[in-house]
A and B are shown apart, each in its own frame.
Chain A
Amino acid sequence: MGYNISDMIQGFHTALMPINLLFVVIGGFLGTIVGMLPGLGPATAVAVLIPITFGMDPISALILMAAIYYGAMYGGSRSSILLNTPGDGSAIAATFDGYPMAKKGQAGQALAMSAIASLIGGLIAVVGFILLAGPLAKFALKFGPAEYFLLFLFTLSAIVSLSKGAMVKGFISMAVGLLLSTVGIDQQTGVYRFTFGISQLSDGIDFLVVIIGIYAVGEVLYNLIGIDKLSSKGKKGVGKIWITKEQWKRSLGPILRSGPIGFVIGCLPGAGGSIASMLSYTTEKQISKRPDEFGKGAIEGLAAPESSNNAASVGAMIPLLTMGIPGSGTTAVMLGALVMIGLRPGPLLFKDSPDMVWSLIDSMFIGNIFLVIINILLVGLLVKILDTPPKVLYPIILVLAFVGTYTMNYSIVDFYLLMIFGIIGLVMKLLKFPIAPLILALIVGGDMEQNFRKSLVSSNGDLGVFFHSGISITLIVLTLLSLTYPFIIQWFKKRKKSADPANESM
């Protein structure tokens, strides 16, 4: 595999330093809080908490960011179970049986199971990460500019194809993100593009401002709709905060099966936790001896997606760290955070900064364990935070968005951009435009263009450069498949329907 065991040990040594352990706890706690707040998901949590890492040494900042990320993923499930309000797509499946459990007075057990399943799923995925990340990083070294361009194209098409029934909107979102990435000085020729004489735009539009604007400000503005009808829905009593032997027995199999499923799905660009958790849930329901209990508070119906979505969040770090390809909105925000810290994710990261990579991997191990402790010990406090009235919460989030933006460039101009993107975020939410393609496109857009142009320069403008290697052809086929997949599925469904007269008569 090419791993140096001393790097791994050194990583543990760094991750276990008291200051870094403290950051794991702080990051996990803050991420959990923001991730579980109604209407705010992991992407928003990471985006508004990025400024905390400014001025820190890169390794500690990386550990803190990762802890915020995992904490936010945990947090998303808290609100699913307690409020029936998932923090993001990957926490939706946790509402199916988690919320019915809470309604039956088993919220404490549901929270404990969610934490345990997430821990085991996360640990399974970390092992997978250790096994896969190195070889994949080595493989990625074979990629030239043309392959990288096609890989970016595949990632974007995969994420657009997930915009169920709204692919045109997904493409618009993606195109806007890619166009925004062209603002500023052209890296190859020094030509100013689309800056309109505003000097602050010459370095381009800071994607973190866009992220905070669209996710945080857009979310706050969106939540102002009908805010008078919103109320804090935190539950006072959560019951016993531990699981029974019987519940453990029922859940162990689903947890162990769902971890690897989540990990593999998480590694795929565009797929992520939503698909992983749904797939695990339906798989468990299909093979369960008690399928009729699913949806009514079956503990395995909660354990499976929780194990799977946490494993997916670790799996998603593989394409992110080895190739610099984020697979979802949240990992795109994470990529932004890594770039802010000064890291350039890609195959060379493993070669040039093994200390960073291993500190991160080892802190994943430690972070997952800490998160269980935090989530179980602080259930009472976390539930109380959910009692914060939305009318107080949203103004606070807005202030956090402004302060976070200011600390990036110390420029007031960014405030105007923040408001513009906040309004764009509001409109996108109102009209159900997928946001992830825009964010992803904005972040990878610059590299995508550079690779596109480098390929053409190297081939003297011959487009055949995009078809010359096996990797390129595979990526083109995958791109075409991802774009046509929703239509193929639709066609099959229609065919099945028309072939089944019973369905037709209904």
Chain B
Amino acid sequence: MILRMLVPAFVSFIGLSWFIASVLLPKAPLGDPNGPMYYPLILSGFLFVMGVIYFIQELKVRHQEKGILKKLFAGRTPKLIIAALILSILYTLTFEKLGFLVSTIIFLGLLLFVINGFRGWKKWVTNIAVAVLFSFVLWYGFSQLLGIGLP
């Protein structure tokens, strides 16, 4: 139930925060000093109202189960999603330092191992081959054929 109410509450919170941030916008040096604030003010107010309506809607059905949320926390799904996000952050941090080819081989390789598993030599061969070949093809396609600079 708490999970169900969390998103509508978050939407309302974003609407309200954006509304306050709009009010606090600096005054414009040209024309109407409040010119830059009106449009985001209307929109954030609208978002807040919609968030409240969404909250009330969810409150009415709070005891109904949300099947997809169950699936999200079933099996190794949460671990996979968190692992994918952590690897993505590591990829971001190493992308320019190690260069495209090395960082991509490592990122893709690790991701494939996390998703496919480590057991069995066939999986090792597939994961490593896909990581190396795909990264190379991508690097060659972008930097050599299309002339797009990659680190």
Residues of chain A whose beta carbon lies under 8 Å from any beta carbon of chain B: 51-52, 54-55, 168-169, 171-172, 175-176, 178-179, 182, 186, 188-194, 220-221, 224-228, 391-392, 394-396, 398-400, 402-403, 406-407, 410, 412, 415-416, 419, 423, 426-427, 430-431, 449, 452-453, 457
Which residues of chain B in 27-86 are interfacial with respect to chain A, using CB atoms and an 8 Å cutoff?
27-31, 35-36, 38-40, 43-44, 46-47, 50-51, 53-54, 57, 68-69, 71-72, 74-77, 80-81, 84-85
Q: A415's closest neighbor in chain B, by CB?
A: B92
Indicate the member of B27, B50, B69, B104 with the most A CB atoms within 10 Å: B50
B142 touches A407 (CB 8 A): yes
**Contact partner of B116 among A194, A391, A412, CB < 8 A?**
A391
* A residues less than 8 Å from B147 (CB atoms): 55
Indicate the member of A406, A410, A415, A419 with the most B CB atoms within 10 Å: A406
* A residues less than 8 Å from B53 (CB atoms): 168
Instruction: Judge whether B16 is part of the interface by a CB distance below 8 angstroms.
Output: no
**Contact partner of B28 among A172, A191, A430, CB < 8 A?**
A191
B35 touches A178 (CB 8 A): no
A221 touches B84 (CB 8 A): yes
A220 touches B84 (CB 8 A): yes
Q: A191's closest neighbor in chain B, by CB?
A: B36
* A residues less than 8 Å from B43 (CB atoms): 175, 178-179, 182
Interface of A is mostly: helix
Indicate the member of A55, A188, A402, A427 with the most B CB atoms within 10 Å: A402
Q: B100's closest neighbor in chain A, by CB?
A: A403
**Contact partner of A395 among B29, B39, B51, B112, CB < 8 A?**
B112
A52 touches B146 (CB 8 A): yes
**Contact partner of A412 among B44, B51, B96, B146, CB < 8 A?**
B96
B29 touches A190 (CB 8 A): yes
* A residues less than 8 Å from B98 (CB atoms): none
Q: B95's closest neighbor in chain A, by CB?
A: A412
A423–B81 CA distance with the chains assembled, in angstroms: 10
Q: Given A175-B50, A431-B7, A452-B39, 7 other A-B contacts at CB below 8 A?
A: A172-B11, A175-B43, A179-B43, A179-B47, A395-B111, A399-B108, A415-B91
* A residues less than 8 Å from B88 (CB atoms): 398, 402, 415, 419
Nearest CB on B from A369, distance (A)? 26
Instruction: Judge whether B13 is part of the interface by a CB distance below 8 angstroms.
Output: no
A399 touches B134 (CB 8 A): yes
A399–B69 CA distance with the chains assembled, in angstroms: 27
B18 touches A179 (CB 8 A): yes
Complex interface bits, B1-38 against A, C-beta within 8 A gives 1, otherwise 0: 00000010001001100100100011111110001101
Nearest CB on B from A383, distance (A)? 20
A426–B88 CA distance with the chains assembled, in angstroms: 15
B138 touches A399 (CB 8 A): yes
A310–B107 CA distance with the chains assembled, in angstroms: 38
Given A227-B115, A391-B115, A419-B31 contact (CB < 8 Å): no
B134 touches A186 (CB 8 A): no
* B residues less than 8 Å from A431 (CB atoms): 7, 68
A431–B68 CA distance with the chains assembled, in angstroms: 8
A161–B130 CA distance with the chains assembled, in angstroms: 43
**Contact partner of A453 among B35, B75, B76, CB < 8 A?**
B35
Q: B71's closest neighbor in chain A, by CB?
A: A225
A419–B93 CA distance with the chains assembled, in angstroms: 13
Given A228-B76, A392-B116, A399-B107, A449-B39 contact (CB < 8 Å): yes
**Contact partner of A226 among B50, B77, B149, CB < 8 A?**
B77
B18 touches A172 (CB 8 A): no
Nearest CB on A from B125, distance (A)? 12
* B residues less than 8 Å from A193 (CB atoms): 25, 36, 40
B77 touches A224 (CB 8 A): yes
B80 touches A224 (CB 8 A): yes
Instruction: Judge whether B126 is part of the interface by a CB distance below 8 angstroms.
Output: yes
A415 touches B35 (CB 8 A): no
Nearest CB on A from B48, distance (A)? 9
Nearest CB on B from A150, distance (A)? 15
A403 touches B142 (CB 8 A): yes
Sample 9 A-B pairs with CB under 8 A, ordered by A number: A168-B53, A168-B57, A189-B36, A225-B72, A226-B75, A227-B115, A399-B107, A403-B138, A457-B31
Given A224-B80, A225-B77, A226-B77, A176-B39 contact (CB < 8 Å): no
Nearest CB on B from A220, distance (A)? 7
Q: B73's closest neighbor in chain A, by CB?
A: A225
Instruction: Judge whether B102 is part of the interface by a CB distance below 8 angstroms.
Output: no
A186–B30 CA distance with the chains assembled, in angstroms: 12
Q: A431's closest neighbor in chain B, by CB?
A: B7
Nearest CB on A from B145, distance (A)? 10
**Contact partner of B149 among A172, A391, A410, CB < 8 A?**
A410
A188 touches B35 (CB 8 A): yes
B36 touches A186 (CB 8 A): yes
* B residues less than 8 Å from A178 (CB atoms): 43
Given A179-B44, A427-B7, A392-B36 contact (CB < 8 Å): no
A240–B40 CA distance with the chains assembled, in angstroms: 58
